């Protein structure tokens, strides 16, 4: 288990760089945290470091956003906050995304925990103060 501390918004891009030095290959990244903890904001910072060309916004209503990078790769961004049933995720065809060998960033993964691949990275975002956050990172090794 590792952690990255973000003291304020000025630390955000630095934290994203540290994160991507450790996770320099695509995979499943599940972001846990209360509403307003900064899941989308941190994913935006990571996407900026990945050279995403598209605007990075929360896919709360669409469930998934696809972003293209300048390197012609795709980043998938999920937000499962509003799903009422895991069947919605089945209907989405989640396997195509989760097993695509692309970066997949998932907000509210607790709603689809049973669908996460074994080798997922879990990031818990703890709110310390108004702008300070702690990222607690654990990787599934199975």
What confidence tens digit (pLDDT) does each residue in 30-47 have? 999 999 999 999 999 999
Across residues 75-87, what is the average pLDDT?
Answer: 94
| pLDDT > 90 in the chain, percent | 88
All domains of the chain, ordered by start, with CATH? 1-80+96-104 (3.40.50.300)
Across residues 104-108, what is the average pLDDT?
Answer: 97
Distance CA 78, CA 74 (A): 13
Answer whether residue 135 shows pLDDT above 90. yes
Closest by CA position to 137, among listed 48, 5, 12: 5
The residue with greater pLDDT, 65 or 140, is: 65
**pTM for the whole structure:** 0.93
Which of the four pLDDT bands, split at 50, 70 and 90, describes residue 21?
Answer: very high
Task: Report pLDDT for 123.
Answer: 97
Which of the four pLDDT bands, split at 50, 70 and 90, describes residue 141?
Answer: low
Which of the four pLDDT bands, split at 50, 70 and 90, describes residue 58?
Answer: confident
């Amino acid at each position: 288990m590792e952690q990255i501390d973000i003291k304020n918004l000025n630390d955000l891009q630095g934290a994203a760089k540290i994160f991507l030095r450790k996770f320099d290959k695509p995979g499943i990244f599940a972001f846990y945290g209360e509403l307003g903890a900064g899941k989308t904001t941190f994913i935006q910072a990571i996407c900026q470091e990945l050279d995403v060309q598209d605007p990075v916004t929360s896919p709360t209503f669409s469930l998934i956003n696809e972003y293209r990078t300048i390197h012609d790769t795709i980043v998938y961004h999920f937000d499962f906050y509003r799903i009422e049933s895991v069947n919605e995720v089945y209907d989405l065809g989640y396997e195509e995304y989760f097993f695509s060998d692309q970066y997949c960033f998932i907000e509210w993964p607790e709603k689809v925990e049973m669908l996460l691949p074994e080798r997922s990275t879990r990031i818990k975002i703890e709110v310390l103060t108004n702008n300070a956050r702690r990222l607690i990172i654990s990787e599934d090794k199975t």
